Structure 1
Amino acid sequence: MNSVQSQELVVLLDDSGRRIGTAPKSEVHHGSTPLHLAFSCYLFDGADRVLLTRRALAKQAFPGIWTNSICGHPGPDEPMQDAVARRASEELGVDIAELRCVLPDFRYRAIDADGVAENEVCPVFCARIAGPVSPNPAEIMDTAWATWDQLRTAVQLPWAISPWATEQIPLLDAAGIGRTNHDLSS
């Protein structure tokens, strides 16, 4: 396989959210990042704690910042649920269960301290994992388990949490995700 074939592609979108093409992921994130398709996922353990991850310093956008469990981009022909499962395995070495899309229409734009922009239509998922995580150091430099109340408090300090998670957490809270023993499968 040559380098062009192995290059990760992201799906570009128009302002209405319609697919208009693809571009190499390595070329998409910059100061004027085009709108593209992504996802966020919050992973819960059996005690209803949520896994937070700290992005690796080598990440192009928002390096070193704490955020939700995993983020990623589906491939051009990849079902979103498959992309979420793929990234859980690639980033954390875990399998997921009870995957549910909670915020299908979430969209945001944010610019990091280096001027790199995120500009995404980013459905938000929740899922469960069992067993220990094994973070990929190219993606994640640290992890922490938190209760939903602790996470709710953390977003009060927006410099400490990614801008997309800061926007997503109150919306997830309103959808009932923070309740004890919530059912992710419904």
Structure 2
Amino acid sequence: MVVEEIVLLNAEDEAVGTAPKAASHHRDTPYHLAFSCYLADTEGRILITQRALGKRTFPGVWTGSCCGHPGPREGLRDAVLRRLHDELGITDDTLAAASLAPVLPGFQYRAVADDGTVEHERCPVVRAVVPSGGAVRPNPQEVEAAEWWTWEQCLDLAGRPESSPWYRLQLAELAPLGPPLDWPDAGTAALPPALAW
């Protein structure tokens, strides 16, 4: 069995080592590298997901399209495409046509779940645009539900307690940018030193 590893960071967002993902999320979770992705279609809708009820951290919360942890020496673009495939079942053909852009490259947060588990991540936010009508086949171990929502529905979710804490923080920064297809490409200069595009 392959053990998924996370990249540990120092205060300057430089890689200082790795650790097993499952064993690292607890009440004193170390600061580490992650990402969030908002999957938009060409009509401007966003795929909103509910985390699987069996997830160890933040089960059942509603959040963006997918999130994950870049592996050691894995670029952000490759990590996003890997998770879109593994978590949401997006086909290789659709991924090949996807347009990816960092929209909040400097995002980071710390959040505590009801059971005391901490997330503490440098978490660049990426928008991926795919053609409308593409099939989504969520992995039930990762995703309880997945629905295409209008931007107005996404904004409404940010004010509700069933949304994830990182979603609420991200939407506070994304809302002033306008609807998803208007979000500017923020470029790669502000990505953490530990993470290539």
The normalised TM-score by structure 1 is 0.91
On the 8 A contact 2:102/2:124 being kept in 1, the answer is yes
Q: Which amino acid counterpart does residue 81 of structure 2 have in structure 1?
A: A
User: Which residue among 60, 63, 76 is the counterpart of 1:64?
Assistant: 60
CA distance in 1, matches of 2:102, 2:46: 16
1:15-66 deviations in Å (ceiling 9; x for gaps): 2211110000011111110000000000011211000000011211101110
* 1:135 maps onto 2:138 in alignment: yes
Ranges of 4+ aligned residues in structure 1 off by more than 6 Å? 183-186
Unaligned runs of 5+ in 1: none
Alignment of 1:27-176 (within 5 A): 27-94=23-90, 95-96=94-95, 97-130=98-131, 131-157=134-160, 159-176=161-178
CA distance in 2, matches of 1:125, 1:184: 11
On the 8 A contact 1:38/1:71 being kept in 2, the answer is yes
On the 8 A contact 2:177/2:183 being kept in 1, the answer is no
Q: CA RMSD in A?
A: 1.5
On the 8 A contact 1:126/1:184 being kept in 2, the answer is no
CA distance in 2, matches of 1:183, 1:114: 35
Aligned residues: 179
On the 8 A contact 1:44/1:126 being kept in 2, the answer is yes
- Offset, 1:183: 6.7
CA distance in 2, matches of 1:117, 1:183: 29
Q: Which amino acid counterpart does residue 60 of structure 1 have in structure 2?
A: R
The normalised TM-score by structure 2 is 0.86
On the 8 A contact 1:12/1:19 being kept in 2, the answer is yes
Q: Which amino acid counterpart does residue 32 of structure 1 have in structure 2?
A: D
CA distance in 2, matches of 1:59, 1:11: 20
On the 8 A contact 2:6/2:32 being kept in 1, the answer is yes
Q: Structure with the greater relative contact order (CA < 8 A, sep ≥ 6): 1 or 2?
A: 2
- Offset, 1:184: 6.6
Identity %: 46
Q: Which amino acid counterpart does residue 122 of structure 1 have in structure 2?
A: C
